[in-house]
Amino acid sequence: MMSSRTTSLLIFAFFFLISSSVTTAFHITRILRKYPEFSAYNHYLIKTNLQRQIDRQPNITILAVDNKAISSISKKPMKVIKNILSLHVLHDYYDVEKLASMVNEGEIAFGSAALDSGLTVKLVKPVLSHPDIISVLQITAPIIAPGIGASSPVKVPASDN
């Protein structure tokens, strides 16, 4: 027979494991399956294995591109597609309200941190949001850093930190 202390510890461990897995567990491919307009994007997340990296993040924002827009990169090598889609994963939670608070006026736009990149990709709409865990936002086109398919690395400006 177990002591009451052992039983209490087991119950605590059980509830801790359940609560921690419920608050951070999501599967981006399962989420995107509910939205047929992102089926090609979802396919590339699986094919490039990015979904595994995404699923391990505690809070994340995905900039999703619909099937029509993603077709512009479909002929590129899978390694290049993976590099492009990596630019669509923000390792923090941003919903429309949080993004809007960072912009003075006008549209919310995105771009690469590489030098000579413009903010040419626009926010279309929020797709899904679980506050402080995951946000999926639809954008107008893939974010492509200058030279992302070239043999030389892309130049990223030094951070101010």
- Domains in the chain, ordered, with CATH? 24-139 (2.30.180.10)
Radius of gyration of the chain (CA): 19
Helix (H/G/I), strand (E/B), else coil: 52: helix
Cα end-to-end span (Å), the chain: 57
How many of the other CB atoms lie within 10 Å of CB of 98?
Answer: 13
The pLDDT tens digits of the residues spanning 67-121 come to 999 999 999 999 999 999 999 999 999 999 999 988 877 789 999 888 878 889 9
C-alpha to C-alpha distance for 64 and 31, rounded to whole angstroms: 12
Instruction: For the chain, give the percent of residues with pLDDT over 70.
Output: 77
C-alpha to C-alpha distance for 7 and 146, rounded to whole angstroms: 59
Q: How many residues does the chain have?
A: 161
Q: How confident is the model at residue 125 (pLDDT cuts 50, 70, 90)?
A: very high
How many of the other CB atoms lie within 10 Å of CB of 73?
Answer: 19
How confident is the model at residue 150, as a pLDDT?
A: 57
Bridge partners (DSSP) of residue 139 are: 65, 123
Higher pLDDT, 5 or 122: 122
Closest by CA to 41, choosing from 60, 62, 58, is 62
Bridge partners (DSSP) of residue 62 are: 89, 136
Q: Whole-number mean pLDDT of the chain?
A: 82
